[in-house]
Structure 1
Amino acid sequence: MDSNKGIVPSYFPLPVSPWKYTIHVDTPVNHVGLNQREGFESVTEMDCVVPIKVKRHFRKLVVHGVKNSKFFHRVNIEGAERKIEPLSDSPVVTFTVKQCDGVDINIDLAPMINVKLPFKDIFDWLNNVAKWPSQEKVQQLKNNGVNLVTSDPLFWKLSFAICERELLVDIDRNGSGTCRRRSLRIMKRLRELFWCPDYEDRDGLTSYHLKNLLFLECERLAKDYQWNIEMMDERDIGMCEQLQVHLSAKHMPQFFNRPKHLFENKDNKRLNLAAINLNQFLHCPENYL
């Protein structure tokens, strides 16, 4: 890409990691009239579907949808401002409702290609002998497969979003009396209130890190009795201590893809600030609660 984020041809092959993919189209987009149909613009380059083009076009569709939505015209929040945020390195397009009371409502939307790729041995998730999740749940997750999102401008990246949602949906089975999901909500709230001054900043510690932290803790503490509702305080402190270890090492693995380093492209200053605030919290948590 050039300085204006335009796509230019390269005389040399671009380096590709095991986590990056290209998607080819059998027929050039121009030949099927996509450019002319309903004003759609091409999302391909040299017969490849290009993530940054897909994301830019998707954002235009979101802007058009918000402007022409009958729902948003009917629901008029006094003093509220609706805004589609500029694109970032994240695969999502964020729709923000800024309210006069200072509480913003953010809705993240992301284009995804549902290709259901198989889990690979290199992910190092199915190779272990963990007792969580159950084998039945593991089979459901394998059936869901792995999809692709627009995290990179030129290459498609792996997404485990559907598997993560499947894992969360019944993480506290009916009647089990466990607190896994509640613990995650508490961790997210602590992050918003105390650990990250600008809790919408995607360059530091994010809620996605906390979700992966929960999954890792559930694998480490696999029994339901270890997540009894009466032990919620102990579990939350334990998760905070594990987070402290990850922040100190500047390393957190992705649950479904262990070689993937979730802090790799984050701002170290932001992570250090979160670590300092977390240490202060752990020193005297009762002052914060």
Structure 2
Amino acid sequence: MSARKIRSRFHTLVGQSVEKSQYRDICKMVPDTTDVKLRIHDDYIVQITCAFRCNGIWPRSASHWPRSNIPWPNPSIANEVKSEGFDLFSKETNAAQNQPNKQASSMEGDAWAMSLHHAENTLLQHGSRRKSFSILKCLRDTHLDFPQSPITNYILKTLLLFECEKHYNEYEWEERFIGDRVIGVLLQLVSCLQCRKCPHYFLPQLDLLKGEPAHLLDQSAKITWNLVRQLILNVRALESL
């Protein structure tokens, strides 16, 4: 099954639907990309991805999880996570992106990618983990978001999952410890930025910072460390940041 052909067919079907829609004057397809992106009112861009749900299947590349030497998550939650499976979607390769005006070959434009979004969310649904993630996203938007920032919400989510392994007791995720957990994630972030590497939680061979310019990683590390200092020195900093 060709990922490129699936993406191309999906792109065509959405384009035809937009043209026939009563909203075609306010909803336009974004040109020069094989991804399906819609521009709404010239202000918002929405990306639609065609994905295949793979329930009850756990990827072989993540077979090491859960780690036997770490008591989190408990076996019942781990089984629930594995039963969630993953999503498989077509993704444009770098080779195709670098040749926008040329017809990419079948090999160059053909790639499938995995998303473990549902499994990750299952792990974060207990205690104050989800609330901690919401706070981290807010801090990113207000303090760590600058042009070409390498710090994404997904990286914060990944580091939060590693923080769950470090603090595996449920009482450590009560609301009174949220500040400590947030600081822990940000300290991990500083370390990853300085080391120029952030492994994916389930697929550690995948580096989420791969290809990011060194100067942006250094800049991000300094900004993140300044934020951590504020949180450490002022116990009520989260109320005002």
* Residue correspondence of structure 1 range 121-136 to structure 2 within 5 A: 123-136=63-76
Amino acid in structure 1 at the alignment position of 2:226: Q
Normalised to the residue count of structure 1, the TM-score between the two structures is 0.63
Residue equivalent to 1:154: 110
Instruction: State the distance in 1 between where 2:128 and 2:173 align.
Output: 6
Instruction: State the distance in 2 between where 1:64 and 1:274 align.
Output: 42
Instruction: State the distance in 2 between where 1:233 and 1:96 align.
Output: 38
CA displacement at 1:83 relative to structure 2: 5.5
| Cα deviation digits, residues 206-240 of structure 1 (max 9, x gap) | 11111111111112211111111011112111111
| Cα deviation digits, residues 146-203 of structure 1 (max 9, x gap) | 44222333222333233224334xx12xxxxx321111111111112211214xx5x7
Residue equivalent to 1:52: 4
Instruction: State the distance in 1 between where 2:120 and 2:62 align.
Output: 19
With 275-284 and 110-119 compared, the bigger mean Cα shift is at 110-119
Q: Taking structure 1 as reference, are residues 230 and 127 closer, same or farther at Cα in structure 2, changes over 3 Å only?
A: closer
Amino acid in structure 2 at the alignment position of 1:126: P
Are 2:140 and 1:194 aligned? no
Amino acid in structure 1 at the alignment position of 2:52: I
Which of 118, 135, 145 is the equivalent residue of 2:58?
118
Q: Taking structure 1 as reference, are residues 279 and 94 closer, same or farther at Cα in structure 2, changes over 3 Å only?
A: farther
Return the structure number with greater strand share: 1
Amino acid in structure 1 at the alignment position of 2:88: L
Amino acid in structure 1 at the alignment position of 2:77: K
SS at match of 2:206: strand
Is the contact made by 2:61 and 2:203 (CA closer than 8 Å) also made in structure 1? no
Instruction: State the distance in 2 between where 1:82 and 1:124 align.
Output: 45
Q: Taking structure 1 as reference, are residues 88 and 131 closer, same or farther at Cα in structure 2, changes over 3 Å only?
A: farther
Instruction: State the distance in 2 between where 1:67 and 1:231 align.
Output: 52
Residue equivalent to 2:85: 145
Is the contact made by 1:125 and 1:257 (CA closer than 8 Å) also made in structure 2? no
Instruction: State the distance in 2 between where 1:218 and 1:98 align.
Output: 41
Instruction: State the distance in 2 between where 1:115 and 1:204 align.
Output: 30
SS at match of 1:218: helix
Instruction: State the distance in 1 between where 2:182 and 2:32 align.
Output: 34
Q: Taking structure 1 as reference, are residues 144 and 179 closer, same or farther at Cα in structure 2, changes over 3 Å only?
A: closer
Structure 1 stretches lacking a partner, 5+ long: 1-22, 24-48, 173-177
Identity of aligned residues (%): 23
Which of 123, 130, 133 is the equivalent residue of 1:181?
130
Instruction: Name the count of aligned residue pairs.
Output: 218
Amino acid in structure 1 at the alignment position of 2:184: G
CA displacement at 1:272 relative to structure 2: 3.0
SS at match of 2:226: helix
| Cα deviation digits, residues 22-80 of structure 1 (max 9, x gap) | x4xxxxxxxxxxxxxxxxxxxxxxxxx1x23433443344444455556x68xx9xxxx
Instruction: State the distance in 2 between where 1:87 and 1:195 align.
Output: 30
Instruction: State the distance in 2 between where 1:133 and 1:67 align.
Output: 48
Is the contact made by 1:119 and 1:142 (CA closer than 8 Å) also made in structure 2? no
Return the structure number with greater helix share: 2
SS at match of 1:214: helix
Q: Which structure has the bigger radius of gyration? A: 1
Is the contact made by 1:215 and 1:255 (CA closer than 8 Å) also made in structure 2? yes
Is the contact made by 2:144 and 2:223 (CA closer than 8 Å) also made in structure 1? yes
Q: Taking structure 1 as reference, are residues 241 and 59 closer, same or farther at Cα in structure 2, changes over 3 Å only?
A: same
SS at match of 1:149: strand
Are 2:193 and 1:247 aligned? yes
